[in-house]
Amino acid sequence: MSWRDFWNGSHSIYVNARHRALHFDMIGKDIGALVPARDAIVLDYGCGEAGSAEMVAARCGEFYLYDTAPNVREKLRLVYGANPKIHILNYETLEALAPASFDMIVINSVIQYLSHGEFERVLDVCHAKLKPTGKLIIGDVIPKTSDAIGDTKALLDFALKGGFLVAACWGLVATFFSDYRKLRSSIGLTRYAPDEVLTLLSAQKFHAVRAPHNIGHNQTRMMFIASPKLEATGLP
């Protein structure tokens, strides 16, 4: 099984409904706060089930959701198909959008599942589809120094504050026997030193800085804010 198969399959990464609700409330608020303007056109790249899509859509002009997993897109269509501000893309419809379509693209908790080469290809697409004045947000990047213990601590802290500690403890036991844990130890997750991300972004024609906070509950992970280098956009 690959990460692609895993995300296209049925899995439960939330320990209960409260965990899921608090997770999406937090990432919805964090992404919403990054939206540059009320009329901004925003893309969530690798959006997953996008449980906070309505919250983010309310903060921007148009909200686009893109995910490689066909089953994820099918569920998104059922949930958000009737919302006129939310648009669900597949690779072909994303490719077909005009260059410089977006004011902001957010990629949250995705690049750990990609090889460096795949990440570079994603950055190429983002560079082409982002306006010269747009910004690219890359969140939940796992530092090289991080391990499963850091993620466990962050989850337990989130659960303690959120009132789902017992469920989180049972969830950790279930995770131990899950496909997620097996894939994490066999294929692994791609980790980055902060400078590696900045160097990669620079090579892909972005100026970038590391942000002081990450999207979501796990502050051991990193967020980067990037903008296209002006010399690479053809603007004076």
Ligand X SMILES: C[S@@+](CC[C@H](N)C(=O)[O-])C[C@H]1O[C@@H](n2cnc3c(N)ncnc32)[C@H](O)[C@@H]1O
Q: Counting contacts by CB under 6 A, is residue 69 touching ligand X?
A: yes
108 binds ligand X (CB under 6 A): yes
Q: Does 198 bind ligand X (CB under 6 A)?
A: no
Q: Which residue has the tokens 């989850």?
A: 155
| Total binding residues toward ligand X, as defined by CB under 6 A | 17
The site map against ligand X for 112-151 (x = CB under 6 A) is: -xx---x---x-----------------------------
Tell me the one-letter amino acid at 168.
A
Q: Which of 14, 42, 46, 223 binds ligand X (CB under 6 A)?
A: 46
Q: What proportions of the chain, in percent to the nearest 5, are helix, strand and coil? A: 45, 20, 35
Q: Which residues pair with 63 in a beta bridge?
A: 42, 86
Query: Of the listed pieces 78-86, 92-100, 104-112, 158-166, which binds ligand X according to CB under 6 A?
Result: 104-112
In the bound state, the residue with its beta carbon closest to ligand X is: 48
56 binds ligand X (CB under 6 A): no
Token pair recorded at residue 162:
């959120």
Cβ-based nearer residue to ligand X, 72 or 208: 72
Residue with tokens 């198969």: 5
48 contacts ligand X (rule: CB under 6 A): yes
Cβ-Cβ contacts under 8 Å for 173 (sequence gap 6 or more): none
C-alpha–C-alpha distance, residues 19 and 202, integer Å: 36
Within its chain, how far is the Cα of 32 from the centroid? Answer: 13
Binding site for ligand X (CB under 6 A): 7, 27, 45-48, 67-69, 72, 108-110, 113-114, 118, 122
